[in-house]
Amino acid sequence: PLSNIICERKSLNGAIEKRQTVRSGILPTLAQTLRSKSNLSCQVALVVAEMAREAAVREPCIQAGLVKVLVPHLKSNDQEMLLNTGRAIGRICFDNSYQQEQLVQSGVIPRLVSIMKEYPENDPLVNVCLLALCNLVDLDSAREALTELDVADVLITQLKRAPDAERRHVILEILGSLGESDTLKLQFAESGVPEALSEMIQGLQGGSDPHDLCSIKIASNLIVSLLLGDESMQKCFGDGTGLVYQDVLSWLQSSNTQLQLSGALAIANFARNDSNCVKMLDLGVVPHILTLLEQHVDEGDVSVQHAGLSALRNLAIPATNKVRMLEDGVTERIKSLLRSDMPPVQFKLLGTLRMMVDGQEEAALVLGRDAVLLARIMEWCEAKDHAGVRGEASRLLAALIRHSRNPEVVRAVARADGVRHLICMATSEHVIMQNEALVALAIASAIDIESMKDPVREAELLHMLKKMLEDHTGAVEVKFSALGLICSLANSSMLQIQILDNYSKMLYQWNHDLVLSKFDLASKLLGCSVGVNTALHGHFVTN
């Protein structure tokens, strides 16, 4: 009888007892009792919750229709009924995506949020609701339902009164999953979620409890994630006066490596537009980042170094910031990372230095004459196991020539055996890298052809350029840059002869109007040798 099952529910501790109860055929009776909403419903829900602890019992519960008859009881005003019902549904539907989707479609999401609003201090009941949300929140339908509710306020309230790390982690997991939505990122920022997380971090700092340290890690990562949304990021920045931005600055100076990492990543996110970059430089963020990087030079945390360099690179994008950062000695201080043997750090360092010299003649001149730097770049140009490092090293080499346009830099690069790496870069599958290399080679040849002759001959550059021009699938801008390089190489009388021998027949086969117009433009831009210009131009006219 049902009354016996209820009275003996405490004996339903073992899997065998629970399975025997299922085999007794009692489940349809339990479902009928819940459907009728009798005075036994609360106790029946408790029995079902106890039985559903056993995984093998859950499917029979679903087949008996228990989930469908339990859901309406979530509208009860009886807190014990809500508790038992929530536990029963949560256990039956655990790890069952179909049933979870059905729950969302039945409208449980708004009700779970309402229950936490109505009974915010009933910890067992709140815990059941939070666990339910945690299990459902990865469903698109659940996220959509939550965008229409002020769930952020409810979660903040519970985060502030969380009695232990376990409760905190459930709330943080919900926030993290919801924070992947751009819509909810902004909603969270407007509701004060980042500030609440920052406040929680501040309260947990200084301790050594592993659970608290885990909470700090999750919360700081979540703040960084919320900053990925443009509008939410701007709200948190608050023109440099935002509470979150101020706390992020303190993280850079923390002894907690996780906070240092999150702080650097957050600065990189704040530095996604020029006005923020300029403002942060005004507020003095760069020295904090440099100090942080220097702390991790030897045996330091690779992730922190990578994040710190990302922040500096983003900050250096505005031209005005480049000048100020160079005056503050940024390039000299970050060169200490040249001894790093970690590819992620090498990659980001090269990219940061390249950004620093972009359009900055003086910086390119200083770095381009630095023998130690050039030697390290040469090593990284041959990084066999890391294509990214290899590519960035070559791009920095090209940038030093392109932005300095200085004979000393050209000779220094040639002495360091860098020309062959630029020639190799010119065959890259990436058009932008091809162009950068071809332009750098053209500038170097125009400035100091004597330093370029031997590497050009050894690498059979003219033959490579011919193939490039003959490639019908090649990008037009690459062919144009190749023509510019040919004009520069024509400054050498020895190479002039090779150019005439190799290119006149090929150029004759090209479309007359297209090539002539491009050739004339290349001549004007790069000052092609008079002899070659005249010979080739005459060839077109007479043919």
State the amino acid at position 498 in one-letter form.
Q
SS3 sequence of 391-437: HHHHHHHHHHHHHHCCHHHHHHHHHCCCHHHHHHHCCCCCHHHHHHH
Of 362, 354, 435, which is closest to residue 404 (Cα–Cα)?
Answer: 362
Would 525 be classed as within a structural domain? yes
Res 3: pLDDT: 45
Would 532 be classed as within a structural domain? yes
Res 483: pLDDT: 87
d(CA 146, CA 111): 11
Would 504 be classed as within a structural domain? yes
Domain count, the chain: 1
pTM for the complete prediction?
Answer: 0.84
CB 446 within 8 A of CB 489: no
Angle at 280 between CA 336 and CA 264, to 5 degrees: 50
Would 524 be classed as within a structural domain? yes
Would 396 be classed as within a structural domain? no
d(CA 164, CA 159): 10
Residue 38 pLDDT level (bands cut at 50, 70, 90): confident
Residue ranges with strand state E in 279-344: none
Q: What are the tens digits of pLDDT across the range 468-503?
A: 888 888 888 999 999 889 888 887 776 776 766 666
d(CA 173, CA 135): 10
CB 122 within 8 A of CB 79: yes
Which residues, 6 or more positions from 17, have their beta carbon under 8 angstroms from its beta carbon?
11
d(CA 63, CA 22): 11
Q: Which domain holds residue 468?
A: 460-543
What b/e string do you get for 428-465 counting C-beta neighbours within 10 Å, with b at 16 or more? Answer: beeeebbbbbbbbbbbbbbbbbebbbebbeebebbebb
Angstrom distances, CA of residue 281 to CA of 267, 305, 446: 11, 19, 38
CB 130 within 8 A of CB 158: yes
d(CA 438, CA 480): 10
Res 83: pLDDT: 98
Q: Among all chains, which residue has been given the structure tokens 């830099």?
A: 409
Element (H, E) at 540: helix 530-542
Q: What are the tens digits of pLDDT across the range 253-311?
A: 999 999 999 999 999 999 999 999 999 999 999 999 999 999 998 878 999 999 999 99
Q: Is the pLDDT of residue 227 over 90?
A: yes
Q: What is the distance between the terminal CA atoms of the chain, rounded to a whole angstrom?
A: 108
Q: Among all chains, which residue has been given the structure tokens 């704040």?
A: 270
Res 500: pLDDT: 66
According to the per-residue pLDDT averaged within each range, which of 15-24, 98-107, 474-483 is highest?
A: 98-107
Res 508: pLDDT: 52
Would 107 be classed as within a structural domain? no
d(CA 355, CA 310): 11
CB 438 within 8 A of CB 482: yes
Which residues, 6 or more positions from 271, have their beta carbon under 8 angstroms from its beta carbon?
277, 280, 311, 314, 315, 317
Of 183, 188, 147, 190, which is closest to residue 171 (Cα–Cα)?
Answer: 188
Indicate if the alpha-carbon torsion angle 9, 15, 16, 18 is positive or negative.
positive
Res 23: pLDDT: 63
CB 178 within 8 A of CB 170: no
Res 534: pLDDT: 47
CA 540 to chain centre: 52
Of 69, 63, 8, 10, which is closest to residue 34 (Cα–Cα)?
Answer: 69
- Cβ-in-10-Å burial (0-12, 13-18, 19+) of 319 comes to exposed
d(CA 56, CA 67): 16
Q: Is the pLDDT of residue 338 over 50?
A: yes
Q: Is the pLDDT of residue 185 over 60?
A: yes
Concatenated DSSP letters of 325-343: HHHTTHHHHHGGGGG---H
Would 376 be classed as within a structural domain? no
Q: Among all chains, which residue has been given the structure tokens 């899997």?
A: 15
Would 112 be classed as within a structural domain? no
Q: What are the tens digits of pLDDT across the range 137-181?
A: 999 999 999 988 989 999 999 999 998 999 999 999 999 999 998
